[in-house]
Structure 1
Amino acid sequence: MIVFLILLFVFNGTLLITGRWFLYKQKDKFSTIFLKSIQWLMNGIFLIVNSELLLSTMYPNTYHPVIFEIGVSNFILTLIIQIPFYLLIYGFLGFYIGNALLTVLTFILGVSNYVKFTLQGLPLFIWDFLSSKMVTDVLFNMVLKEQLLITILSLILLTAMIWGLKKLFYSWHFPTENWKLRGTLAAIGCISMVFFFFNFEQIYSKFNIQAAEYNKPIQKSYQENGFVLSFLGNSNQHGMVMPANYSKETVAEAVTEIKNKMDAINKPKVELIKEQRPNIIFILSEAFWDPTTIKEAEWTQDPIPTIHGLMETSGGYLFSPEFGGSTANVEWNVLTGFSSNFTIDGYIQYNRTTQLKQAPSIVEPLKSQGYQAIALHDYQKEYYYRTEVYKKFGFSEFISETEMTHHDTNNIGTYISDASIFKEAVELIDKKGKDNPMLLHMITMQNHYPYTSNSKFGQIDYVKNKEALVDGDQFNLYINGLADTDKAVKELLTSLEKVKRPTYVVFYGDHLPSLNNEFYEHATFNTNQNQVVAKHETSYFVWKNDGEKLEVPSEVISPNYIAGDIMERSGLHQTIFQQYTTYVQNKIPAFNKRVYLDKKGNSKKLTNDEEELLDRYYLIQYDMMYGEQYSSKIFEVES
């Protein structure tokens, strides 16, 4: 696919130079109208080729024109929608510079979409580009070295072409005689873009296009409609579809039903004295997953013996809503008790959280009971808008890599090691956790992609038959990182055993790693679940520093239940909403948009009562995230 994209890219560059050469050489032989017609024909070819480049990235194994995949009407609409943008660019920059710029931007966008789709199974979204840090991740960190090299070489090639064009035939100064035409083109393009922006829902409805739908994989929408239509269509999408019955009255009715049910089944809790209130430590372990579930792999030794033991005694699997990326969504599930399984695929809910008047989370209920709340992340603060989001949630402090004392890495050029962030955590608890209990929310980075350098984690052959596996070297390299995490977890828990205050640790992986797509295509999971479910099951455990044997309610858990579970487990006062999530957990231990799991992790069908539970859950979540927040009272701890 990368080679195909490069061929389209080079085709446009060649067309640009040869077209200019032809028009330059023939300017005295043909009429102006004829030459202008040739020029606009070339513009149309540029538009079609660039569209094919973008559309083809959603079909990595397809080698025929994408018009056969998305249909003639969608392909024509794709061209029509892009024309205003092209006119605007031509108006400001002219034909040659404009097409050169459009070709470069299209190629970068196409390669980025292809790489993200092959690594994470998700296409690019407009919100991937709302933060400069996320642009860096999408355009560079996500592109493996080989593909980045190809991209750079291609850009150098086009630059050389344009430079040659400049030297031989063309002055880059804007010709004054074209200003009227170019001004007209720019005005038409601008007006058309404004018209489309305010009317695209009606246009899409006319063509029967759904950019995103709840309970439908976003990948399917992109493949049915094409990249361009879905990418633009999602720019005005909410992260949730409004319930048909949403109103102040229906929310009030749901709140009353939830409150009455919780009052009937929950007994009043005994107030804990301050010294009894436990520290709560959340550890989101980047891309941590149990690799021994791969059926084809043979092992020289257990790479994660400590975590395996904890999973067996007081943990199991986290049924993650994500695969290969979108860490912030899993984090959002854990902190808020809301579920990504009610949202549009791929939408980062932190984008919406920054706009909320009240952003519910576990933080405020804990702070009302004397807790201090600190977030610790060994990477950049700006990523996923965490600085703004954590303020909204009520965290009193956010410590990133800049403020950390320990910065050791596994090797030069990699992310900060888990051992370093765990040392930072222990020192924080020793320094700030003596007088008041602490919520410490950690997000690690050690095992983040890419997994392409043999020196990233050192190289122990945990996988005996790595040569027999597709991308076995990459898989084994990634496992070296997991083994380092396992050792660091063991050291952390040993240190926490010395802390006098009761301390809970909740450890979970956010998603499976972004290994090459070929690895997952050839691998099978040695679990009792189908392969789709298994690709969303990460490692999870709960631990307490006093040696108490902890029981977990099920072998698999959804991340949105963690906050309510730890509040109840700690003997703390829950909000009514947290009580409700715990109640739903007992009925539906884990779920995603299409699969519901029982306590053993087996698929189950919902009863009518269970469907009503999720309908209320959905309604309340929509109200607080995208509605009028009529239900805000059930997110407060009752005095």
Structure 2
Amino acid sequence: MRHTLLSRRVFLLAAGLLFTGFLLNSCLQTASFGLDFQRMFGWISQYPLLYITGSLFFFFLLLAALVILPNMYIGPGIIILLVAITATADYKKLATTGEPLFPWDLLLLKNAADMRTITKGMISPLMLAAAVLSAAVLIWLLRRLPVLKLRLPLRFLLGSASILMLAGFISMVGGQSSLASSLKYQNVFWNQKVNYTQNGFLYAFTGNLKQNLMEQPEGYSRQAIKEIAARYSEQPAAVRASAAGEQPNILFMMDEAFFDLTRLEGLAFSEDPLSFIHAAESKVPSGYLLSPEFGGNTANVEFEALTGLSMYFLNDGSIPYQQRLVKMSSMPSIVSILKERGYKAEALHPFDATFYNRNRVYPVLGFDSFTSEKDLGDSGRITPDGYISDKFAVQEAVRRLKSAADPLFLHLVTMQNHFPFTKGLNGPNTISVSGVQAGYKDEIETYAQNARLTDEALADLQQELLTIERPTIAVFWGDHLPALSAGIYTDAGWDGEPRLKHETKLMVLANFDIGADPLGTLSPAFLGPEVFRLSGMSLPPYYKLLEQVQNEIPGLSKAVLLGSSGPFSGLTPKQQGLLDDYRLVEYDLLEGENYSAGLLF
């Protein structure tokens, strides 16, 4: 009788785990479809084998957790909690940036405390209450469920079988086996939105565990790189007539989530939040930066600006800092080019040094030093809960430029304008905005206040440049548009307008004559050659290649291709040839044998 009762309980427990496995898979998929249950059921009907095998993965994961820990209920409870957190993170990331959750995003867990700060406001009180209630119910169930005891041999057998099944699943998906193909799985690594939509969250996420940044281009070899190096070494470089006279200081100022919000149709401002920028943009080289990102992934914009490599060639969802550069010992960049010419190179970022592995990546790029939030104290915050202000960051940058004995390359990455756009975070709002829905009014007025503070900081920078003895050139740009509520962009008519949703403000200031030719719209990868030309410095062969690409396709991104006269879709043979050369060099530096380092730099 006792044996029968135990067998029944074990059967019910297994059935419960199987049901929970299907439920967890459904929850993850529903989150991936923006909580659209109809799309989730449609996906199940179209890809039933992917759904069933994915659910069995969760069953074996739950079973393994059950037999490994002494308390048979704690393990599955932990798995359920982790899946719930993953589904929430995937849903919120999709809603904010339009991208799903990738394996390398988990590397940010080491910055959990800072993530809590920068995502404050993204989790609604209702969601938080639901999470607390769910946790309470789970704890209550753990205490009420009957105690089951499995003998050690059975635990070992079930645990071993589960681990083998889990490992087999990961191997099958990662290896793109014929079995995976028979289930209708296809790793669409070049389009991650399609990858997650078609294969489901579990298969797409698992398939990305072994994902490279880019695939090897046809024709890659040492000889091909040598021919590219010879071709562009012979190219004359266009140098501006006005040169600095001596090697100038160079300041890169990448401003967090900064764009020209007055471009949003239908909004009226009580006063211009960007009065300095709008007055100065006709007097200095200015235009727009075509960001490869929207709402996040700052490190990818920084990667383009510093290395001259383009996100255009990389697989969707890639974050080179976390996937590749952190594993390298060196990477050619504007930093290494300038250091060979006698420059000192410093990085300044008023936030956590470990975010996006900057503390490990910056030495790879060649920086001599890195100053982060912990080195700056709290004096630069407008309010105790706010980020260090752009004004304080500019003051610190100017101090370093003035005290430098040698020409200095200073890379500044600000934080003031980062999400959340909480009213009062950077002092009281001083600009009122009309033409906006009531639910978005505080948000857009808070962003306008932040933008005004950045505009004032940039005005201060212009004045301070005049007090620096060495010729100095400062390149200012926003890394990406802010993660404002989607309705703000929809009301402005920006849905379906990739150019508008990727253009941020770009402006170059200097204390010597650099002219006032408009810059148009440029990709971050072309900032290095542009500042070299403006300051009269010679271009290495790699920058000559970038110069040729820029002349044909100044805006190079997956969102939109821009020529000198606007967007286009088809490439001419000349443009395709340039991109083929560019792709080969990028592959060589990131995934290949690094022949380019000694030939093009």
TM over 0.5: yes
Please name the residue that 1:57 is paired with: 31
Query: Which one-letter code corresponds to 2:61 in the other structure?
Result: F
CA distance in structure 1 between the partners assigned to 2:431 and 2:493 by the alignment? 21
Q: Secondary structure at the match of 1:68?
A: helix
Distance 1:107 1:69, change over 3 A: same
Say whether residues 1:321 and 2:321 are aligned partners.
no
Per the normalisation by structure 2, the TM-score is: 0.92
Query: Which one-letter code corresponds to 1:36 in the other structure?
Result: V
Say whether residues 1:125 and 2:96 are aligned partners.
no
Query: Which one-letter code corresponds to 2:266 in the other structure?
Result: E
Distance 1:204 1:238, change over 3 A: farther
Matches within 5 A, 1:338-377: 338-351=309-322, 352-377=324-349
Residues 18 and 59, structure 2, Cα contact 8 Å, conserved in 1:
no
CA distance in structure 1 between the partners assigned to 2:578 and 2:122 by the alignment? 49
Shift of 1:408: 2.0
Moved more, 260-269 or 103-112: 260-269
CA distance in structure 2 between the partners assigned to 1:143 and 1:268 by the alignment? 44
Query: Which one-letter code corresponds to 2:137 in the other structure?
Result: M
Residues 290 and 524, structure 2, Cα contact 8 Å, conserved in 1:
yes
CA distance in structure 2 between the partners assigned to 1:387 and 1:370 by the alignment? 23
Please name the residue that 1:296 is paired with: 266
Please name the residue that 2:74 is paired with: 97
Shift of 1:259: 2.5
Shift of 1:612: 1.1
Q: Secondary structure at the match of 2:312?
A: helix
Residues 316 and 541, structure 1, Cα contact 8 Å, conserved in 2:
yes
Residues 555 and 601, structure 1, Cα contact 8 Å, conserved in 2:
no
Shift of 1:404: 2.1
1:52-111: CA deviation from partner (whole Å, max 9, x where unpaired): 111111212513371412521221232233344223212213542222212211111111
Distance 1:264 1:334, change over 3 A: closer
Please name the residue that 1:181 is paired with: 154
Distance 1:228 1:407, change over 3 A: farther
Shift of 1:137: 5.7
Distance 1:266 1:177, change over 3 A: closer
Shift of 1:254: 4.3
Which one of 303, 306, 313 corresponds to residue 276 of structure 2?
306
Query: Which one-letter code corresponds to 1:303 in the other structure?
Result: P
1:225-283: CA deviation from partner (whole Å, max 9, x where unpaired): 111111111111011122233333xxx2244145324414348999x99x711000000
Say whether residues 1:486 and 2:455 are aligned partners.
yes
Residues 285 and 507, structure 1, Cα contact 8 Å, conserved in 2:
yes
Distance 1:307 1:600, change over 3 A: farther
Distance 1:381 1:84, change over 3 A: same
CA distance in structure 1 between the partners assigned to 2:76 and 2:48 by the alignment? 25
Please name the residue that 2:9 is paired with: 35
Moved more, 327-336 or 592-601: 592-601
Residues 344 and 368, structure 2, Cα contact 8 Å, conserved in 1:
yes
How many pairs are equivalent? Answer: 592
CA distance in structure 1 between the partners assigned to 2:138 and 2:378 by the alignment? 48
1:184-206: CA deviation from partner (whole Å, max 9, x where unpaired): 22211222233334332215444
Query: Which one-letter code corresponds to 2:38 in the other structure?
Result: H
CA distance in structure 2 between the partners assigned to 1:259 and 1:197 by the alignment? 44
Distance 1:155 1:344, change over 3 A: same
Residues 134 and 384, structure 1, Cα contact 8 Å, conserved in 2:
no
Shift of 1:299: 2.0
Matches within 5 A, 1:577-592: 577-592=542-557
Residues 279 and 439, structure 1, Cα contact 8 Å, conserved in 2:
yes
Please name the residue that 1:229 is paired with: 203
Residues 90 and 100, structure 2, Cα contact 8 Å, conserved in 1:
yes
Distance 1:473 1:189, change over 3 A: same
Please name the residue that 1:161 is paired with: 137
Residues 212 and 234, structure 1, Cα contact 8 Å, conserved in 2:
no
Say whether residues 1:245 and 2:219 are aligned partners.
yes
Please name the residue that 1:284 is paired with: 254
Q: Secondary structure at the match of 2:568?
A: coil
Residues 256 and 416, structure 2, Cα contact 8 Å, conserved in 1:
yes
Residues 296 and 524, structure 1, Cα contact 8 Å, conserved in 2:
no
CA distance in structure 2 between the partners assigned to 1:266 and 1:325 by the alignment? 34
Say whether residues 1:335 and 2:301 are aligned partners.
no
Residues 348 and 372, structure 2, Cα contact 8 Å, conserved in 1:
yes
Distance 1:300 1:307, change over 3 A: same
CA distance in structure 2 between the partners assigned to 1:567 and 1:146 by the alignment? 41
Please name the residue that 1:560 is paired with: 525
Q: Secondary structure at the match of 2:185?
A: coil
RMSD between aligned alpha carbons? 2.6
Residues 283 and 442, structure 1, Cα contact 8 Å, conserved in 2:
yes
Residues 311 and 539, structure 1, Cα contact 8 Å, conserved in 2:
no
Shift of 1:546: 2.6
1:429-482: CA deviation from partner (whole Å, max 9, x where unpaired): 122x2x21100000000000011334444212341233x366232122111100
Identity %: 29
Distance 1:204 1:458, change over 3 A: farther
Query: Which one-letter code corresponds to 1:109 in the other structure?
Result: T
Q: Secondary structure at the match of 1:213?
A: coil
CA distance in structure 2 between the partners assigned to 1:360 and 1:343 by the alignment? 18
Moved more, 387-396 or 452-461: 452-461
Please name the residue that 1:110 is paired with: 87
Query: Which one-letter code corresponds to 1:412 in the other structure?
Result: P
Distance 1:496 1:566, change over 3 A: same
Say whether residues 1:417 and 2:389 are aligned partners.
yes
Which one of 422, 426, 443 corresponds to residue 413 of structure 2?
443
Say whether residues 1:509 and 2:509 are aligned partners.
no
Please name the residue that 1:495 is paired with: 464
Distance 1:635 1:167, change over 3 A: same
Query: Which one-letter code corresponds to 1:332 in the other structure?
Result: F
Which one of 31, 49, 62 corresponds to residue 86 of structure 1?
62
Please name the residue that 2:571 is paired with: 606
Residues 378 and 421, structure 1, Cα contact 8 Å, conserved in 2:
yes
Distance 1:504 1:127, change over 3 A: same
Moved more, 509-518 or 89-98: 89-98
Per the normalisation by structure 1, the TM-score is: 0.87
CA distance in structure 1 between the partners assigned to 2:477 and 2:281 by the alignment? 10
Please name the residue that 1:396 is paired with: 368
Say whether residues 1:532 and 2:498 are aligned partners.
yes
Distance 1:622 1:257, change over 3 A: closer
Residues 330 and 366, structure 2, Cα contact 8 Å, conserved in 1:
no
Distance 1:146 1:336, change over 3 A: closer
Residues 596 and 606, structure 1, Cα contact 8 Å, conserved in 2:
no
Shift of 1:169: 5.0
Residues 387 and 416, structure 2, Cα contact 8 Å, conserved in 1:
yes
CA distance in structure 1 between the partners assigned to 2:171 and 2:415 by the alignment? 41
Distance 1:135 1:193, change over 3 A: farther
Please name the residue that 1:15 is paired with: none
Distance 1:245 1:189, change over 3 A: farther
Please name the residue that 1:630 is paired with: 595
CA distance in structure 1 between the partners assigned to 2:394 and 2:473 by the alignment? 14
Moved more, 152-161 or 225-234: 152-161
Residues 239 and 533, structure 2, Cα contact 8 Å, conserved in 1:
no
